[in-house]
Copies of this chain bind each other. A is one copy, B any other.
């Protein structure tokens, strides 16, 4: 494989000149530039990334740590991030893992070995965040859906709170007073915020908020099914259930069917995310749309800004993504969704 010296020889110039044209330096005569470009193309030369990284101390690579639970929208997120960062020449290293310690280690090693220029952290489970903060003070990083308050870095969060309020208000508008909430995974930031939106809205209306109206799942359909069963088997049933995500809402619908309850007449159900199944399930699920691809792009752009601004003047920034409620039928609306025809 050709290296810069081969190119220099072929073009009859020094390697410095070759380097200059590679890096778009203006101080090269048009004439020689063309000669070099020709040599590069003739020899099918690509600069060695390790040598470049060694010199420039950048790798044009960013790290992305993602948690187990997020799998369903992960590909979309990546695509969003990648679409934004690709055009700047960045690549993405991903790391997933089943246990937190492993994640921490991966992160640290990625950082310390100089493998990445920046990081995107999807760590919805707040717990370990402080372990990271120390390692990250001098690294461009954006946190996604994390409750962390960081100086020196950017956080991108969904407007879970407002959207949860909106969708709860909608249920109340339908006349519901006994509205139950199914939590997602323990300590999950998104789930907690959605819960806060729900609770505050209930309180604003002086409606009951109690443990009997809450149940704890872990974002899976199965857990939603189980949680819903608990809620629905009480002597006094809720008339509506707000699940912290769509998968659990779908589990809830399944549970209601098992108990021969009509949706939305006997029990209304709403979710969060707008996964693709939401519109196909019967009845179509009223939920909150999370624009995953777009979130990815925003995260990508935000990281790129930090990368180019340099670590010295990173601005603490919190980007809040607004969310919209998607009215379908499971809440009681009769709006006919003509999705296909």
Within 8 A of B (CB), among A92-126: 92-98, 102, 106, 109-110, 112-115
Q: Which residues of B lie under 8 Å from residue A50 when comparing CB positions?
A: 49-51, 53-54, 59, 114
A223, B66: Cα distance in complex, Å: 30
Q: Which residues of B lie under 8 Å from residue A225 when comparing CB positions?
A: 340
A46, B82: Cα distance in complex, Å: 28
Q: Which residues of B lie under 8 Å from residue A110 when comparing CB positions?
A: 91
Q: Across the interface, do A222 and B91 meet the contact criterion of CB distance under 8 Å?
A: no
Within 8 A of B (CB), among A225-248: 225-226, 229, 247
Q: Identify which of B46, B53, B79, B226 contacts A109 (C-beta below 8 A).
A: B46
- Asked if A339 lies at the interface with its beta carbon under 8 angstroms from chain B, I say yes
Within 8 A of B (CB), among A306-339: 339
Q: Identify which of B82, B247, B257, B281 contacts A96 (C-beta below 8 A).
A: B82
A61-87 Cβ-contact flags toward B at 8 Å (1 or 0): 100001010111011101100110010
Q: Which residues of B lie under 8 Å from residue A282 when comparing CB positions?
A: 257, 282
Q: Across the interface, do A93 and B92 meet the contact criterion of CB distance under 8 Å?
A: yes
Q: Across the interface, do B97 and A94 meet the contact criterion of CB distance under 8 Å?
A: no
A115, B59: Cα distance in complex, Å: 10
Chain B nearest CB, measured from A5 CB (Å): 15
- Asked if A280 lies at the interface with its beta carbon under 8 angstroms from chain B, I say yes
A82, B106: Cα distance in complex, Å: 12
- Asked if A193 lies at the interface with its beta carbon under 8 angstroms from chain B, I say no
CB closest residue in chain B, given A109: B46
Q: Identify which of B70, B72, B93, B229 contacts A93 (C-beta below 8 A).
A: B93
Q: Across the interface, do B75 and A91 meet the contact criterion of CB distance under 8 Å?
A: no
Q: Across the interface, do B96 and A75 meet the contact criterion of CB distance under 8 Å?
A: yes
User: Known interface pairs A74-B75, A276-B221. Does A226 touch B340 (Cβ–Cβ under 8 Å)?
Assistant: yes
By CB atoms of chain B within 10 A, which of A47, A71, A94, A251 has the most?
Answer: A94
A53, B257: Cα distance in complex, Å: 58
Contacts beyond the supplied A49-B113, A49-B115, A92-B94: 15 A-B pairs with Cβ under 8 Å = A47-B113, A49-B53, A49-B114, A50-B50, A51-B54, A71-B75, A71-B76, A75-B96, A78-B96, A79-B96, A82-B94, A82-B97, A86-B95, A91-B110, A221-B280
Give 27 A-B contacts (CB < 8 Å), ordered by A residue.
A44-B112, A46-B112, A46-B113, A48-B113, A49-B50, A49-B115, A50-B50, A50-B54, A50-B59, A50-B114, A53-B53, A61-B93, A68-B79, A72-B75, A74-B78, A75-B75, A75-B96, A82-B96, A82-B97, A86-B106, A91-B93, A93-B93, A221-B277, A221-B280, A254-B280, A257-B282, A281-B281
The 10 closest A-B CB pairs, nearest first, are A71-B75, A50-B53, A46-B112, A74-B75, A49-B113, A50-B54, A50-B50, A49-B115, A277-B277, A46-B113
